Amino acid sequence: MEVRGLQVGLKTGEPADLLRSINLTLGRGQVLGIVGESGSGKSLTCRAILGLLNTRSMRVSGSVQLNGQELMLLPEKNLRKIRGKEIGSIMQNPMNAFTPVHTIGSQFVETLRTHSQLSKGQAWQQAVHSLESVNLMEPDKILKRYPHQLSGGMLQRVMIAICLCLRPGLVIADEPTTALDAVNQLQVLRELERLKMECGTSILIVSHDLGVIAQMADEVAVMRKGEIVEHAGVHELFDAPRHAYTRMLLEARPRLGKEAKNAEGSKRQLSL
C-alpha cells in the first residue's frame, strides 16, 4: 500500500484541516505502527484509507494505492469488494463492530459468501475451523450467539478469524488490544503475527500501547495534530527519537524500575 498526500478536512461549519499530507508506504509482509495521543488523527487515517468517511461533510483528497490500484477514484460498489477480501479491518471497539441483532454466525457467513463462491454450509464449516484456529472453544455455540454474549477478547478473535478466512493482503488493526487483559492481548498479537507469517499479510496497526508497537512493528509513524512528525524504523525510533514529541511519548511510558530502563533499547521480541 502507498499513501501519498492524504488530506481530510471539514466541509461544514468552520473550515478545519483534520489530516494534512499523510504519506505512508507499506510493503508486503511488513508491519507499520502508528502512534500518537488521542485526537492526533490515527483512526481518521485508517478510515480514510478504507474509504469509510462521510464525503458529504468531509473533503478527502490525495492518493491511496493498493498493489498499484488507486482506491480514491473507485465507486463505493467496487470498494466494498476490496474491503474484507483484499483489505481486512479490525475495529477499535469490538463491541460495536458487529450488528447486535444478528448472530455471530450469520455475520461471519455473510462476510465469507460476499467475497467467495462458498455455499452457506461450506461457509459455516470454514467459520468453525477459523474460530478453532484462534483458540475459541466450542465454535458452533459461539456462532449461534449474539455479540453481547461474547467478551471483548472473544469478539477481537472473531474479527481476526474472519481476516484469516479471507486471507487479505493488508490488515488495518485500529487499537486491536484496547481494554483487553494481558492474556487476551498476547493472544491477539499472536494471531496477527501468524496471519503475517502464513499469508504474507501487511499490517497497519494503531495503538496507544508502545509495548505493542515495539513487539509488532517494523516501522513506526508518529502522529500529532493530523500530521506525521516522525517516521523511522522501530529500533531507531525507540533508541534515538529525533522529534521532541516522540521523546515525550517515550518518556511517558509506564516503567518498572531498572528492568524497564535496561530494556528500553533492546530488540523487541514476540514469544510464539
With bands split at pLDDT 50, 70 and 90, how would you rate the model's confidence at 65?
A: very high
Q: 108-134, pLDDT tens digit by residue?
A: 999 999 888 899 999 999 999 989 877
Assess contact for 239 and 68: CB atoms under 8 A: no
Q: What percent of the chain has pLDDT over 70?
A: 92
Residue 218 neighbours by CB distance under 10 Å: 16
Whole-number pLDDT of residue 56:
84
Among candidate residues 173, 170, 105, the one with its CA nearest the CA of residue 139: 105
Q: Bigger pLDDT: 259 or 12? A: 12
Among candidate residues 76, 89, 91, 114, the one with its CA nearest the CA of residue 1: 89
Count CA within 13 A, CB hemisphere, residue 241. 17
β-pairing verdict for 87-90 and 170-174:
parallel
- Average pLDDT over every residue of 5-18: 85
Separation CA 44–CA 39 (nearest Å): 9
Burial of 72 (0-12, 13-18, 19+ CB in 10 A): middle
Helix (H, G, I), strand (E, B) or coil at 74: coil
Q: Which residues contact 35 (CB under 8 A, 6 or more apart)?
A: 42, 206, 207, 208, 210, 213, 220, 221, 222, 223, 249
Q: Bigger pLDDT: 77 or 14? A: 77
Whole-number pLDDT of residue 258:
45
> Which CATH class, in words, describes the domain spanning 31-52+85-263?
alpha beta
**pTM score, whole prediction:** 0.84
177: pLDDT strictly greater than 70: yes
Q: 235-263, pLDDT tens digit by residue?
A: 999 999 999 999 999 988 766 554 444 44
CA-derived radius of gyration, the chain: 19
24: pLDDT strictly greater than 50: yes
Angle at 170 between CA 165 and CA 174, to 5 degrees: 95
Q: Bigger pLDDT: 191 or 241? A: 241
Separation CA 177–CA 169 (nearest Å): 21
209: pLDDT strictly greater than 90: no
Whole-number pLDDT of residue 179:
59
Among candidate residues 174, 156, 165, 152, the one with its CA nearest the CA of residue 223: 174
Helix/strand number for the chain, H first, E second: 12, 10
